[in-house]
Structure 1
């Protein structure tokens, strides 16, 4: 399953606080529950017949910017700022109490947790410096936090490109322009350009599906910020569908249907829709060029959810009556749409740009048995 996006605190905050984070396989989730000064970690179990939550309170309430990351063994990584350091521990239930295993600390300025790693037992974080960004493995290593990569430039985001936790995509800001790059964590952080739509465009990667190769992209290459999609490593152009361009609402993709091997156009994509009337749900397939908008369940932990391979979207929610629930909705059946429906297309190669079309280069991480990545660039 494709995990939900992580909501983070503003960039000038010390720690990115995950509101509700789901493991890559959809088995567990974690959030900071409670209100005001009475905040505590809570773990959700999602892979059983019915979801249930287990509170994991410490001896004192947590700060609002405390970071949490669930692991597939049922433990929850907690990230606290303690005496100028970033301290990490693993929480687990022990009957009526909470067990806590310290795993070490990192001394740096700003540090944020990355989305859950595909292996389910490792956890990574970004520490942004003035000229470079450090990637730390803060759980799952042999000897506590380990510095695994140093990437030139100021990086943000974080999208896993494979199912092993080796290839990580980051949005790197350099000389006033942001481009997605691929970082090979098993080769000391060797970095390869991933998206290069136009020379001065800002090209960010939002989601990637390892089965189909579907990429969800945000770029201002068409002239203003737009949502688009492409296929990793293909020669097909990046497209910016008109149906994903709403005048009165903002769209944020958070989950892609897994299991659609070599069929990126068939993948159902779930999007959070934020407008003046509130927050609701959008569902879309690249092949259909049509956005279906539906009401979200009451108490939806907005921006969180997973797809099953069969096309069922599972949305976690919490209300006074149901403090731990998962709503299920099916993707709309495939529809036949007019092929001439307008959309902006980023041409792969050849000719001068016209209208919303601009040149594209998508740099493909080579298969893991081939190395190095440096210099291996494939038009996408």
Structure 2
């Protein structure tokens, strides 16, 4: 396992495509920001800058597609504009930017209290969606890979966003309605049909943080174990067994730990999936549901956005960038968990035996 030094992570958003082929971020500092695409599928990552004539605002969002193009979300006056960026090659300084741009459309929020943000990359690699969350209603917009426009409208204010399948049809959202937050499933293939997903307790707030469609593993934050004390738990999609809240996650969960990557390729074995947690103090936690131990590791210097990607072979790849190494990945393996403590029961008392009369105690 490669050693890591504890370091505060870079807060700039860094997004990895669902298939692990590409990643994207806003590079640069201050008012000189530009999109940057990383190729991360090969043995050595490399970055391609995608600058345009004007620098990007710091609150712009970028999302990589499986074909190498990068979706960008910008706020322009009162609207939210979306476009695809791609490298065009050659040119030299006189030819201007070497980036092509394809405008897709814009979302015009109904009011200032509507928040528009990109959802995580779609599992199919070609679609992209955005969430327009208002106080009373939330709309899911398709912004790439299909007709631009709303595909679902859900009562209540929604946040989060976790894909539940490998086709980009089932989307989980955390919906705030009537004072409670519950995760719901939205079927984009059936006009945005909404169904309950997490109902741990009637009065609890239950949020879905991450899911692995292959194994069905769900990572959850809920205050059902105790009012006012949100804890990390896990369950299995479609299982009749209740959500479990391991004691080993209680300490890291109280410090705001958030899962950011799940090991794929563990079909029918959710307990064996490696889970990576971003710890509040800037470190990394590695854990499996089958284990009763969380390994705490230092993050690499320049860790980007607190993100990473598990390989099917069980290696966790973390992106980082420093002035000397502007594009790199560090690879970690989850250590072997210590065996549970052996419980030694006291030996059973000896069976009674007859005592010779002369040895019998006197009264």
* TM-score of the pair, normalised by structure 1: 0.81
- The 3-state SS of whatever aligns with 1:130 is coil
Larger strand share, 1 or 2 = 1
Residues 1:219 and 2:202 aligned together: no
Distance in 1 (alpha carbons) for counterparts of 2:342 and 2:233:
17
Distance in 1 (alpha carbons) for counterparts of 2:160 and 2:284:
22
Matches within 5 A, 1:273-352: 273-275=279-281, 279-333=282-336, 335-338=338-341
- The 3-state SS of whatever aligns with 2:248 is helix
Q: CA deviation at 1:18?
A: 6.8
The one of 66, 76, 83 equivalent to 1:72 is: 66
- The 3-state SS of whatever aligns with 1:172 is strand
Q: Unpaired segments of 5 or more residues in structure 2?
A: 1-10, 91-97, 344-363
- The 3-state SS of whatever aligns with 2:220 is strand
Partner of 2:77: 83
Contact 1:87–1:104 (CA under 8 A) maintained in structure 2:
yes
Distance in 1 (alpha carbons) for counterparts of 2:83 and 2:108:
15
Partner of 1:258: 264
Residues 1:230 and 2:235 aligned together: yes
Contact 2:12–2:304 (CA under 8 A) maintained in structure 1:
no
Matches within 5 A, 1:1-380: 19-96=13-90, 97-108=98-109, 109-141=114-146, 143=147, 145-223=148-226, 224-246=229-251, 249-275=255-281, 279-333=282-336, 335-338=338-341
Distance in 2 (alpha carbons) for counterparts of 1:204 and 1:45:
32
Q: CA deviation at 1:334?
A: 5.0
* TM-score of the pair, normalised by structure 2: 0.85
Partner of 1:5: none
Distance in 2 (alpha carbons) for counterparts of 1:28 and 1:320:
22
- The 3-state SS of whatever aligns with 1:241 is coil
Contact 1:259–1:309 (CA under 8 A) maintained in structure 2:
yes
RMSD: 1.6
Q: Unpaired segments of 5 or more residues in structure 1?
A: 1-16, 341-380
Bigger-Rg structure (1/2): 2
Deviations 1:175-217 (A, max 9, x none): 1100000000010000000000111100000001111111000
Contact 1:18–1:68 (CA under 8 A) maintained in structure 2:
no
- Structure 1's 274 and 114: CA in aligned 2 closer, same or farther, altered over 3 A? same
Contact 2:142–2:151 (CA under 8 A) maintained in structure 1:
yes
Distance in 1 (alpha carbons) for counterparts of 2:37 and 2:270:
32
- The 3-state SS of whatever aligns with 2:182 is strand
Contact 1:272–1:302 (CA under 8 A) maintained in structure 2:
no
Contact 1:31–1:68 (CA under 8 A) maintained in structure 2:
yes
